[in-house]
Amino acid sequence: MYKFVRMEKFSIQKVYTRLRGEYEKVRCRKLVCNNVGAPGWIFILFVELHGRLLTKTRLAQWGYLEDVMCPLCRTEREDMEHLFLQMLFCCYDLE
């Protein structure tokens, strides 16, 4: 499985690359890694996954708002499914 080859100079990077293997770089990797905005969206995702994100639909259920249309697309109600699923696919279609 592993070949032991006599090396002139040991390199941790070469060993790591060999163990990890070669992979194609993902186009959107900078969205997660080395992004100063990451803590903000990680928090929003955490709140959304726990069902606590205050969307317009949720605020309207409590009686705080009357207009529940999404301000970005103005076609559908702003709820978690629309913001995180439908709008995401819509944005990828625009690119």
Whether the model clears a pTM of 0.75, i.e. scores above it, the answer is: no
In this prediction, residue 4 has a pLDDT band, given cuts at 50, 70 and 90, of low
Structure tokens at 46: 């955490």
- DSSP three-state, residue 19: helix
- pLDDT single digits (tens) 41-79: 788 888 888 888 888 888 898 999 889 988 888 888 888
Distance CA 10, CA 80 (A): 51
In this prediction, residue 14 has a pLDDT band, given cuts at 50, 70 and 90, of confident
| Predicted local distance difference test score (pLDDT) of residue 91 | 54
Q: Is the dihedral of CA 36, 32, 74, 63 positive or negative?
A: negative
